Amino acid sequence: MNLPHEAELLRVFIGEGDKYEGRLLYELIVEKAREDGLAGATVYRGILGFGANSRVHTTKVLRLSEGLPVVVEIVDATEKIQAFLPWLDGVIHEGLITLEKARVIAYRHNNGS
């Protein structure tokens, strides 16, 4: 798969325990991105953060049950990202979705040779 040099970076900021129809939302987003043929997706788990409700989420021992922030990043061609957004909007009930331009320098995989 080739990516254009000018692409888009989609970031989804949610909580690690956020669910949609009983499934962890970050897992669902990655699986849907794969099904839709997007170039790839990565999930990052934060150690500290807050969102629209200003409630702090942290890894501190006494607050482990608070639910840490999670960021899902996807880079692909603008058309593919734009086609993914309506589905994403339908499953995100709390969180933040951002887009920015990305310049792809390299996108490679090892084909086993």
Residues 6+ apart with CB under 8 A from 17: 24, 67
* Domain total in the chain: 1
Which pair of tokens denotes residue 54? 């200003």
pTM: 0.86
Q: What is the pLDDT of residues 2-21, one digit of tens each?
A: 787 899 999 999 999 999 99
Could you give the angle at the alpha carbon of 99 between the alpha carbons of 86 and 90, nearest 5°? 20
| β-strand partners of 42 | 73
Domain that holds residue 98: 6-103
Which residue reads 């996108």 in tokens?
107
Confidence tier at 81 by pLDDT (50, 70, 90): very high
User: Does residue 92 form part of some domain?
Assistant: yes
User: Does residue 108 form part of some domain?
Assistant: no
User: Does residue 90 form part of some domain?
Assistant: yes
CATH number of the domain within which 99 lies: 3.30.70.120
Question: For residue 65, is pLDDT > 50?
Answer: no
User: Does residue 110 form part of some domain?
Assistant: no
61 vs 71, which has greater pLDDT? 71
Chain mean pLDDT for the chain: 88
Contact 64, 106 (CB under 8 A): no
Contact 12, 75 (CB under 8 A): no
User: Does residue 33 form part of some domain?
Assistant: yes
